[in-house]
Amino acid sequence: MATDTAGRRWAPSGSWPVIQPWLTHVARLGLAAVLFLAGWAKFTEPPALQKLAVSAYQILPDGMVGAVGIGLPILEMSLAVMLVLGFATRFIAAAGGLLMIIFIGGIISAWSRGLSIDCGCFGGGGTVGKGQTRYLQEILRDLGFLALAAWIVVLPKSKLALDRILGLYGD
């Protein structure tokens, strides 16, 4: 805390202490919406398409493709639900941010190896024609989602969250 000229301590004034929890709440819901929509789009596809989207990256061994194809949508939707509830907010946002870093790395890997694939981020996936890729846009989009996750990790205190009810970020 800072002090004024008379030596008295003062707390930060202004509207930031009021606005910040609401901004984090909006960031939580935004990241949750993206994760849930992406997970749901993949979850509702046939397992063969889930595997195709993962195998198109040519990164994982064949034995892991099915598990990732089926497990990733469940992970994304689970993280989304936890963010909506505001439970373990900092940890869940960090996990979501790590997921974004992995996605960005996968897209960069595909791009740098000259693969022509749809990222499969919101369902679909697999090989596309040359010139139909949108790698830069996908990376920039995921960087935006990573920024939301970082905001939540740094400033996890938010409105309408179980964390507040449990007293994890005291008021």
d(C-alpha 78, C-alpha 35), whole Å: 9
d(CA 42, CA 44): 6
Q: What gap in Å lies between CA 32 and CA 145, rounded to an integer? A: 10
- Which pLDDT does position 130 carry in this prediction? 86
pLDDT of res. 126: 87
pLDDT value, residue 12: 58
The answer, as to whether pTM is greater than 0.85, is yes
Secondary structure, 3-state, the chain: CEECCCCCEECCCCCHHHHHHHHHHHHHHHHHHHHHHHHHHHHCCCHHHHHHHHHCCCCCCHHHHHHHHHHHHHHHHHHHHHHHHCCCHHHHHHHHHHHHHHHHHHHHHHHHCCCCEECCECECCEECCCCCCCHHHHHHHHHHHHHHHHHHHHCCCCCCCHHHHCCCCCC
Lookup: tokens for 63: 């034995």
The tens place of each residue's pLDDT in the chain, 171 residues long, gives: 455 566 665 555 689 889 999 999 999 999 999 999 999 999 999 999 999 999 999 999 999 999 999 999 999 999 999 999 999 999 999 999 999 999 999 999 999 999 999 999 998 888 899 889 999 999 999 999 999 999 999 999 999 999 988 888 765
**Could you tell me if 52 and 125 are in contact, meaning their C-beta atoms sit under 8 angstroms apart?**
yes
Integer Cα distance of 164 and 167 in angstroms: 5
Strands 126-127 and 117-118: antiparallel
